[in-house]
Amino acid sequence: MASDDPKPLVDVQHVSKLFDTTQGVTDRLFGREPNPVRAVDDVSLTINEGDIMGIAGESGCGKTTLGKLLVKLHEPTHGSIEFDGKDISDLSNEERSEFRQRVQMIFQDPFESLNPRMTVFQSVMEPLKINGIGDGYHDRRERVKEVLNDVGLSPAEAYLDEFPKELSGGERQRVAIARALIVNPDFIVCDEPVSMLDVSIRAGVLNLMKELQDEYGLTYVFISHDLSLIRYMCDRTAIMYLGDIIEQGPTQDVVMNPKHPYTEALFDAVPEIDPEAERHRANVTGEVPNPRNPPSGCRFHPRCANIIPPEDWTGSQDAFRRTFQFKRRVLHDDLDPEEATESVGRESPDAILERGLALELPEEHTLADESSRSVDPSVLDLPGDAERTLRDAAEKLLGGDREGAKAELEGEFVSICEREHPDMREAGSRITACHLYEEEETDRVVAPGTSD
Ligand code: SF4
């Protein structure tokens, strides 16, 4: 349980983890710098003693890499991680073995984390042997039985000689939990601990983990893409997007009143259990970009419904968002004039405008009766000069002059969101990285052209 007087147990400061940092053959051939995958990028996070901290985000956002950094299964490329006041990249042999005992990880797939040739007794006892804990075979056997009972594998004697393949998924994950607990750790990172289990037994395993937190005085990190699990288990939650933490705070506040547009989109996309409940429209566009080549400024800007128009924009925010999307699609060769004219049914710059200004909503964000394939520009609050620029670009596209179309749009319609990476700022009880929030203010700043 989180305490009223929080004491930091894990302190992550500006940690990055880059993969593939060496030059490949083609890089060497063309004299190019390596282009690493920025799995975790400049993340700062504090986990207090007794916390259950959730780390959530879509797959590939870097949450598992961050979990592995916390338990020292990866070394940071930059930055520092302190555990109980000590930098974990700078441990003596003795401190390292103490760290290995105090910090454990539970993985998604219990089948993979357990050796199929070892019995339950051998698997759970092994960490005691590795850490030199226990006074001989008898003492260790008793300790194993005690922990098996604690994780609900009772009577323990019935499980000691079983092999993983003889157990159900839930039993296997309980063995993995017992294996983590046997060394009496302080901190456990749980990476999607129930996602491989049958839905009917997930709640049982999660409730067990809550009980064990009290009994063993544990601090947990739960890594999950499952937002209902995060809601159920975690006191505090950090949301990751493309290697960045973009919002963190008390789970209740992050879930019920998210500040960052990505968090809003993430939670709004979760289908309601109650079919009568109104489903919010998250309205996020496009797919997650490649982490090898993340967008400039705010990494979420190509998909963000709230992208901020420049000061001199006189139209609506919605019109700016569509204009910006049009520009990006032309610059990234993502607006095919043939496909646009075919889908709209006539060959003219208007058809390209209609298609290019329509929002590309991913399936989970599209309402059943909604058609997002084209939009009539005349219903948008689009300034005349902007429309002329878009039309000129559309004409060039139609005439097969892609480079000319790009030149029309290059340097136009630039948002602060595209230009500057937002710092983490306080926004009420949360910390969020979004230009919509100013340093000392807690409410969203109304961007020009918005009615928010
Ligand atoms: S900084 Fe801009 S693009 Fe990023 S989340 Fe905030 S409003 Fe959206």
| Distance from residue 255's CA to the centre of ligand 1 (Å) | 18
Q: How many Å apart are CA 104 and CA 185, to the nearest integer?
A: 7
Hunting for tokens 């009994």 — which residue is that?
A: 215
| Distance from residue 299's CA to the centre of ligand 1 (Å) | 8
Mean pLDDT, residues 412-437? 93
Token pair in block for residue 357: 């200004």
Return the ∠ at Cα 361 (arms to 355 and 364), rounded to 5°.
150
| Distance from residue 114's CA to the centre of ligand 1 (Å) | 43
Residue 109's pLDDT is 85
Percent of the chain with pLDDT over 70: 87
Cβ(396) – ligand 1 distance below 6 Å: no
HSE, CB side, 13 Å, CA atoms: give it for residue 97: 9
Phi, psi angle pair for 425, to nearest 5° = -130, 155
Token pair in block for residue 58: 């879509």
| Distance from residue 294's CA to the centre of ligand 1 (Å) | 14
Cβ(424) – ligand 1 distance below 6 Å: no
Residue pair 183/71 in contact (Cβ under 8 Å)? The answer is: no
Name the residue at shortest CA distance from atom 6 of ligand 1: 434
- Residue closest to 284 by CA, chosen among 228, 366, 355, 221: 366
Token pair in block for residue 138: 């008898």
pLDDT, tens only, 372-394: 577 888 889 999 999 999 999 99
Q: 158: Cβ–Cβ under 8 A, 6 or more apart, which residues?
A: none
Ligand 1 pocket test target in 259, 308, 418 with most atoms within 8 Å of CB: 308
Query: In which band, very low, low, confident or very high, does the pLDDT at 54 lie, cut at 50, 70 and 90?
Result: very high
Task: Give the number of the atom of ligand 1 that is nearest the alpha carbon of residue 418.
Answer: 3
Task: Give the number of the atom of ligand 1 that is nearest the alpha carbon of residue 415.
Answer: 2
At residue 363, the 3 state secondary structure works out as helix
Phi, psi angle pair for 39, to nearest 5° = -65, -40
pLDDT, tens only, 74-132: 999 999 999 999 999 999 999 999 999 999 999 988 777 899 999 999 999 999 999 99
Q: 139: Cβ–Cβ under 8 A, 6 or more apart, which residues?
A: none
Dump the DSSP string for 254-289: HHHS--SHHHHHHHHTSPPSSTTSPPP-----S-PP
Mean pLDDT, residues 15-39? 78
Residue 273's pLDDT is 46
Cβ(324) – ligand 1 distance below 6 Å: no
pLDDT, mean over the chain: 88
Residue pair 178/121 in contact (Cβ under 8 Å)? The answer is: no
Cβ(298) – ligand 1 distance below 6 Å: yes
- Residue closest to 260 by CA, chosen among 420, 449, 444: 444
Cβ(269) – ligand 1 distance below 6 Å: no
Cβ(434) – ligand 1 distance below 6 Å: yes
Residue 373's pLDDT is 73
Residue pair 197/179 in contact (Cβ under 8 Å)? The answer is: no
Task: Give the number of the atom of ligand 1 that is nearest the alpha carbon of residue 261.
Answer: 5
Token pair in block for residue 18: 């880059």
User: What global pTM score does this model have?
Assistant: 0.88
Residue 443's pLDDT is 53
| Distance from residue 63's CA to the centre of ligand 1 (Å) | 21
Peptide bond into 155 cis (omega under 30): yes
Ligand 1 pocket test target in 284, 296, 300 with most atoms within 8 Å of CB: 300
